[in-house]
């Protein structure tokens, strides 16, 4: 709080103005601290990711599931298919409709690169609508 001397009668009176200079100094110091600390807080990890493009679409009434098993074999629905016969099996399951969404399931033990190879096979077969299926974890209380 600031006080001033009133020269007329000699008693002290309060000044009702805010001195903002210390406030600005504190703000500038904090600004400099955050400007220096912000680049240090970012983490950059180099990861060689395979390419993919996916578009969200509504789920159909009767979905077509493509499963990648731990031994890297493929299944369309409940039928095991080879990698070379995958486009024909998908055409049979979807009645030749290339805009059908394919739900891709993969075991936890399947490497990420293998999943991306299967997605590239789907794209090469003309199936561009691919959805990845996973298990939801129960939220802890």
Mind listing the pLDDT tens digit for each residue in 100-114?
A: 888 888 888 889 899
What is the number of structural domains in the chain?
1
**Domain assignment present for 129:** no
Instruction: Provide the 3-class DSSP secondary structure of residue 130.
Output: strand
**Domain assignment present for 1:** no
**Domain assignment present for 101:** yes
**Domain assignment present for 35:** no
| Cα-Cα-Cα-Cα dihedral sign, residues 61, 139, 134, 44 | positive
**Domain assignment present for 25:** no
Task: Give 13-66 pLDDT, tens digit per residue.
Answer: 777 777 778 888 889 999 999 888 877 766 554 544 445 455 545 666 788 889
**Domain assignment present for 74:** yes
**Domain assignment present for 93:** yes
What's 87's domain CATH number?
3.30.420.270
**Domain assignment present for 85:** yes
Instruction: Provide the 3-class DSSP secondary structure of residue 14.
Output: strand
pLDDT at 122 over 80: yes
Which residues make Cβ contacts (< 8 Å) with residue 138, sequence separation at least 6?
A: none
Residue predicted with more confidence, 6 or 131: 131
The domain in which residue 79 lies consists of 63-106
pLDDT at 94 over 50: yes
Provide mean pLDDT across the span 111-131: 91
pLDDT given for residue 64 in this prediction: 87
pTM for the predicted model, two decimal places: 0.55
């Amino acid at each position: 709080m600031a006080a001033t001397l009133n020269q007329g009668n000699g008693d002290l009176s309060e000044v009702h103005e805010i001195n903002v200079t210390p406030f600005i100094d504190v703000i500038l110091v904090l600004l400099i601290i955050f400007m220096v600390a912000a680049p240090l807080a970012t983490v950059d990890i180099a990861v060689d990711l395979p390419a993919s493009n996916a578009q969200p679409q509504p789920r159909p009434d009767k979905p077509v599931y493509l499963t990648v098993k731990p031994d890297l074999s493929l299944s369309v629905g409940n039928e095991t298919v080879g990698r070379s016969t995958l486009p024909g099996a998908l055409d049979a399951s979807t009645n030749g409709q290339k805009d059908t969404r394919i739900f891709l399931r993969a075991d936890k033990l399947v490497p990420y690169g293998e999943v991306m190879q299967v997605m590239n096979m789907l794209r090469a077969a003309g199936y561009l609508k691919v959805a990845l299926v996973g298990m939801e974890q129960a939220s802890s209380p």
